[in-house]
């Protein structure tokens, strides 16, 4: 690494670009030529043969070899030719993806390769967005969506092939699918099951699926030089920005991929990069900075794959800098990456089965992840990976592999779903890696407290309705409780807004004060959920005005997405026969409905700050919360996020007596007695309402 001020080599770079351009012109491949150039292509017929011979096949291949985009097409082409006769006409080929962004992007690529309109022959299905039709034969979907399809079609009768893709990710939903699909494959001998994975531990999959054969697609990989920092980086975001600039000015032309942990970080990094580029002006060659993360709208995602457009200045191809979450590790293949910058972190869900607390934590990634990340640099030519940590840290501080999600998450959702599928004995369910016993028990207890299961552990009527909604049990319960409190209109909006959470308010670095003032102007009594409701209501009143969003530092895209989600939920409400009712301006029914779903997430202000009621765990109000100054005595939070400490994000103020009303079997009056007022800190007196 040299210092960022050593900006040399701009002139040479332009020449190099010209050369590159003419080479690319020569090499410009048609989309069909690209297809034929992929590593999987020479194995097309061998692969189809193996699929014909075995019901279950494990497919292993490097990222970018064409597993996701090509194999479903090969099967579909075979169907048209009716050669092998194992795919039945009119049946679908389903391919699961752990991430929604990947499902959408891959489907759109395949539609393009097949010259069909997305949503016709090739479609995708992700939560709250179904882009398929009667004609769809290749269906890409999130693993969670396929799981939900079991509710309406327990034997997946409309599918001839199921591909569980990105199996190595071991998401909770993929792991549950393994068990369910292995089971139905036994009585559906005509169903073909493909489990496809990056080159990671594929023997595990084989042995789980009764020693199914592994088909290995030999990869093409160029060498990647790995560099470590000499000392740990205090600020990895800053280190990323500096590294990008250094690579850009000192290294030969090539696109750069940066791995960060989430949307906020990615946006911050992109802004910092834009800002430095502006300051350096024509001293450096142009860069095209592109973010990619789960909530990124699809039009923005598409930019990642577009060939770099000619630059505004003389330089023909600006360097692409892609700032991504670990979605770019294996799910999406971006061609042309030569440099990878890896700070070595990822955001992970972590669950404490003892306290029942789940939070998102930025943690060091595993060695396996780090190696996948480095691999992204060697797809088209020899590359370089800059690890922003020490070689020592790699060796001694990073785990070999990532712990499967099933072992570090709340299982409420999955347990409710399995119960609705009639699977009662969860202890003996065929899990590849079983979840910890305490986690299962806790999930059962929580569902019982929510009223979804009876004391025998059987699904109740409420539980059955809860399972109909494609959301977590607590959110589901909140929505269903709104019926009783006559506030379903408001609760639907809140549920929709929570689902686009954290992407509503826009905070550009150069207008922080304005943005924050705009945000404060939305404050209404009751808490953050009420603020979300207020934002949405005002937006609807302005006739969904873009100008209004702009003036108020609101991300219009997120609101449009919330509107879509709301519409979908509204449809589901009609299906489960819940009337839409409004409580007008009274916030109490709304907050009671939220309490009915989230009573587990209650914290009380004590002399030593906020503590969760049951576990006495210290938690803090997120600085962005509208209640940050108020410090009400009793609050309910939507989620916990651990950054420097456990922050409660999206909170409302409640009356502790509501807890007895909504969860009498969980809370006892004694637990909810307030400490006498003289023991309370002064600021508690500021709270607006007198509480229980």
Give the footprint of Mg ion on this chain (CB under 5 A): 67-68
Strand partners, 362: 347
CB 66, min distance to Mg ion, A: 8
For ligand ADP, give the closer residue by CB, 70 or 369: 70
Q: How far apart are CA 45 and CA 118, in angstroms?
A: 27
Q: With binding defined as CB under 6 A, does residue 174 bind ligand ADP?
A: no
The item of ligand ADP, Mg ion, none sharing an interface with residue 61, based on CB under 5 to 8 Å by kind, is ligand ADP
Nearest to 64, CA basis, from 198, 227, 161: 198
Q: Which of 65, 142, 348, 552 binds ligand ADP (CB under 6 A)?
A: 65
Task: Report, in Å, the least distance between residue 68 CB and Mg ion.
Answer: 3
Could you tell me the smallest distance in angstroms from the CB atom of residue 72 to Mg ion? Answer: 11
- The span of 64-72, 367-375, 474-482, 603-611 binding ligand ADP (CB under 6 A) equals 64-72
CA distance 340 to 385: 5
Based on the shown chain and the rule CB under 6 A, indicate whether residue 97 belongs to the binding site for ligand ADP.
no
Binding residue for ligand ADP, selected from 73, 87, 97, 105, defined by CB under 6 A: 105
219 binds ligand ADP (CB under 6 A): no
| Residue from the set 132, 333, 420, 490 that interacts with ligand ADP by CB under 6 A | 333
> Of 65, 68, 64, 62, which is closest to residue 105 (Cα–Cα)?
68
Q: Which does 305 bind (CB under 5 to 8 A by kind): ligand ADP, Mg ion, none?
A: ligand ADP
Nearest to 269 by CA among 336, 326, 321, 338: 321
CA-closest candidate to residue 75, choices 61, 62, 65, 86: 86
Whether the CB-CB separation of 368 and 351 falls below 8 Å is answered with no
Residues 261-320 that bind ligand ADP (CB under 6 A): 305
In DSSP notation, 431-479 reads -SSPPPHHHHHHHHHHHHHHTSB-TTS-B-HHHHHHHHSSS-HHHHHHH
The nearer residue to ligand ADP, 379 or 592, going by C-beta atoms, is 379
Report the residue closest to Mg ion, judged by CB. Answer: 68
Among residues 628, 687, 681, 680, which one has the least CA distance to residue 655? 687
Identify the bridge partners of residue 162 per DSSP, sorted by sequence position.
94, 193
* Residue 99 C-beta: closest distance to ligand ADP, Å: 12
**Any idea what DSSP says for residue 576?**
T
Which pair of tokens denotes residue 462?
């409420």
Find the part of the chain contacting ligand ADP (CB under 6 A) among 57-65, 517-525, 612-620, 673-681.
57-65
Q: Is 66 in the site for ligand ADP (CB under 6 A)?
A: yes
Q: Does 69 help bind ligand ADP (rule: CB under 6 A)?
A: yes
**Minimum separation from the CB atom of position 112 to ligand ADP (A):** 7
- Residue among 62 and 653 whose Cβ is closer to Mg ion: 62
The residues, ordered by sequence, that sit 6+ positions from 356 with a Cβ below 8 Å of its Cβ are 410, 442, 446, 600, 614, 615
- Coil, strand or helix: which one is 513? helix
CB 370 within 8 A of CB 387: yes
| Binding partner of residue 153 among Mg ion, ligand ADP, none, CB cut-off 5 to 8 Å per kind | none
- Shortest distance, CB of residue 107 to ligand ADP, whole angstroms? 9
Give residues with Cβ within 8 angstroms of 665, minimum separation 6. 448, 449
Toward ligand ADP, which CB reaches closer, 95 or 180? 95
394 binds, among ligand ADP, Mg ion, none (CB under 5 to 8 A by kind): none
Q: Binds 661, which of ligand ADP, Mg ion, none (CB < 5 to 8 A, cut-off by type)? A: none
Name the minimum Å distance from CB 273 to ligand ADP: 23
C-alpha separations of 56 from 195, 196, 209, 215, 587 in Å: 8, 11, 7, 11, 54
How many Å apart are CA 589 and CA 210, to the nearest integer? Answer: 53
Q: Which residues of this protein are in contact with ligand ADP, per CB under 6 A? A: 34, 38, 61, 63-70, 105-106, 109, 305, 333, 335
């Amino acid at each position: 690494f040299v210092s960022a001020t050593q900006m040399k080599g701009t002139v040479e770079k332009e020449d190099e670009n010209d050369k590159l351009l003419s080479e690319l012109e020569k090499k410009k491949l048609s989309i069909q030529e690209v297809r034929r150039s992929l590593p999987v292509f020479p194995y097309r017929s061998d692969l189809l043969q193996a699929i014909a011979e075995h019901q279950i096949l494990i497919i292993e291949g490097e990222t970018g070899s064409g597993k996701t985009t090509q194999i479903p097409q090969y099967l579909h082409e075979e169907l048209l030719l009716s050669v092998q006769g194992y795919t039945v006409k009119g049946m679908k080929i389903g391919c699961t993806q752990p991430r929604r962004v990947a499902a959408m992007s891959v489907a759109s690529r395949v539609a393009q390769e097949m010259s069909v309109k997305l949503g016709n022959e090739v479609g995708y299905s992700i939560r709250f967005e179904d882009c398929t039709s009667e004609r769809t034969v290749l269906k890409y979907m999130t693993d969670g969506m396929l799981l939900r399809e079991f509710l309406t079609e327990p034997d997946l009768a409309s599918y001839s092939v199921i591909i569980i893709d990105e199996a190595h990710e071991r998401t909770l939903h993929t792991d549950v699918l393994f068990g369910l699909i292995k089971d139905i494959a036994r009585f559906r001998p005509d169903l073909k099951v493909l489990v496809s994975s990056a080159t990671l531990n594929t023997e595990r999959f084989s042995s789980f699926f009764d020693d199914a054969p592994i088909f290995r697609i030999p990869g093409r990989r160029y060498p990647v030089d790995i560099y470590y920092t000499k000392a740990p980086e205090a600020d990895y975001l800053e280190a990323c920005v500096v590294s990008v600039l250094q690579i850009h000015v000192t290294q030969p032309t090539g696109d750069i991929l940066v791995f960060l942990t989430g949307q906020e970080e990615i946006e911050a990094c992109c802004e910092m990069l834009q800002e430095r580029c502006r300051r350096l002006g024509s001293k450096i060659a142009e860069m095209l900075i592109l973010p990619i993360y789960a909530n990124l709208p699809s039009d923005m995602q598409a930019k990642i794959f577009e060939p770099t457009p000619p630059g505004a200045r003389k330089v023909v191809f600006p360097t692409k800098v892609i700032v991504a979450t670990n979605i770019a590790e294996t799910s999406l293949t971006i061609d042309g990456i030569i440099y990878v910058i890896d700070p070595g972190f990822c955001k992970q869900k972590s669950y404490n089965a003892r306290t029942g607390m789940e939070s998102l934590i930025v943690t060091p990634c595993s060695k396996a992840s780090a190696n996948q990340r480095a691999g992204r640099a060697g797809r088209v030519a020899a590359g370089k990976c800059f690890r922003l940590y020490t070689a020592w840290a790699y060796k001694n501080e990073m785990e070999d592999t990532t712990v499967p999600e099933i072992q570090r998450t709340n299982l409420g959702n999955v347990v409710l779903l399995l119960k609705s599928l009639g699977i009662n004995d969860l202890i003996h369910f065929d899990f590849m890696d079983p979840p910890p016993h305490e986690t299962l028990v806790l999930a059962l207890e929580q569902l019982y407290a929510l009223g979804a299961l009876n004391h025998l552990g059987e699904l109740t009527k409420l539980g059955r309705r809860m399972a109909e909604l494609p959301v977590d049990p607590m959110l589901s319960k909140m929505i269903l409780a709104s019926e009783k409190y006559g506030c379903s209109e408001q609760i639907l909006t809140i549920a929709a807004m929570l689902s686009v959470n954290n992407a509503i308010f826009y905070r550009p670095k150069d207008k922080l004060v304005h943005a924050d003032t705009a945000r404060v102007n939305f404050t209404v009594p009751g808490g953050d959920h009420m603020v979300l409701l207020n934002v949405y209501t005002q937006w609807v009143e302005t006739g969904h005005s873009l100008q209004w969003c702009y003036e108020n530092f609101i991300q219009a895209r997120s609101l449009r997405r919330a509107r879509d989600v709301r519409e979908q939920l509204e449809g589901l409400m009609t299906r489960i026969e819940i009337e839409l009712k409004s409580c007008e301006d009274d916030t109490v029914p709304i907050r009671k409905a939220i309490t009915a779903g989230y009573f587990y997430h209650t914290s009380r202000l004590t002399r030593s700050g906020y503590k969760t009621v049951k576990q006495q765990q210290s938690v803090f109000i997120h600085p962005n919360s509208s209640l940050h100054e108020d410090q009400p005595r009793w609050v309910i939070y939507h989620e916990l996020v651990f950054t420097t400490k456990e922050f409660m994000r999206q909170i409302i103020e409640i009356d502790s007596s509501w807890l007895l009303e909504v969860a009498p079997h969980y809370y006892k009056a004694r637990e909810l007695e307030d400490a006498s007022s003289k023991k309370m800190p002064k600021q508690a007196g500021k709270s607006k309402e007198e509480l229980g």
